[in-house]
Structure formats: C-alpha cells, structure tokens
Amino acid sequence: MLVRGNVPCITTDKLDETRAFYTEYMNGRLTFDAGSFITLRLGKAKTSPKLSFMQPEPGETAFPGEGLIYNVEVKGVDELHDRFKADGMEVVVPLEDHEWGDRGFAVRDPNGIAVYCYEPREPTPEFRQFEVS
C-alpha cells in the first residue's frame, strides 16, 4: 500500500471558534467548507499539512479535548509565542529549547487539543543516537 496523504479529522461542537483559531494563528487556509465540515491547509504550499473538523452527527459526541497533541513545525516560534501571549492565550507548555532537537511551546485550541508549535534545533548527543533515517 502506498499512503499518499493523511488528514486528521476532529469532531467538534466549536467549529466557528476552531476555524478562527487555525486561520488566525496557524496560517490555515480553507480548502473545503461545507458549513458543518471544514478542511484547512496549514500553509501556502500544496504539500502543507491539512486538518479537518466536523460537527458531530446525530448520536456522535465531540472530541473530549484530552490526550491529543498536534505538533506543528513553524518558522518564527518566538514571534508566534509572543503573539499568543499578547492575545491573552494561556501557554500550557512554556517556550523552551529541548534536548531532543527543537525549541517550542504549546497552547490549547478551542477543542482542548494541545497545539505544540516548534522550530527544529540540533539535538544533543544523548538524543541524536535515537534518530532513525
């Protein structure tokens, strides 16, 4: 099997707030909007990652907002962190350099998903040994 793509889809009661969060902060661009189902491309390139969100169907429940971390590689992690803080958003993981090879922080989207924003850095020798090519 050849996997050609991957688009996570999250069920949410907060579709409008989610659309606003990802378009305003994560450079999201709507590629599909059926009202109760949206897909956003996070970036301008055709190869940029996508995320979909949908309102629950009758009998379904929305994502409970726990246990999911969405990692997003960005350019300008310090500036993005400062923007979140200036807009009064709670940073749930502080901005730090990490031994495994990034500088990053996390906030929560309207659904409670931890969005970990990071820029790659050189890992320490202790972590470089775990890289798999």
pLDDT of residue 119: 97
Domain with 111 in it: what CATH number? 3.30.720.110
Residues 6+ apart with CB under 8 A from 94: 105
Percent of the chain with pLDDT over 70: 100
70 and 129 fall within a common domain: yes
24 neighbors 41 (Cβ within 8 angstroms):
no
In this structure, are residues 61 and 73 in contact, taking their beta carbons and an 8 Å threshold?
Answer: no
Last residue of a domain, one of 16, 31, 57: 57
Mean pLDDT lowest among 3-7, 88-92, 101-105: 3-7
Q: For the chain, what is the domain count?
A: 2
* 31-39 CB contacts, 8 Å cutoff, 24+ apart: 39/7
pLDDT digits (tens, 9 = 90+) for 28-66: 999 999 999 999 999 888 889 999 999 999 999 999 888
Q: Can you tell me the distance from the alpha carbon of 24 to that of 14, in angstroms, rounded to the nearest whole number? A: 15
Listed residues 57, 78, 98: the one ending a domain: 57
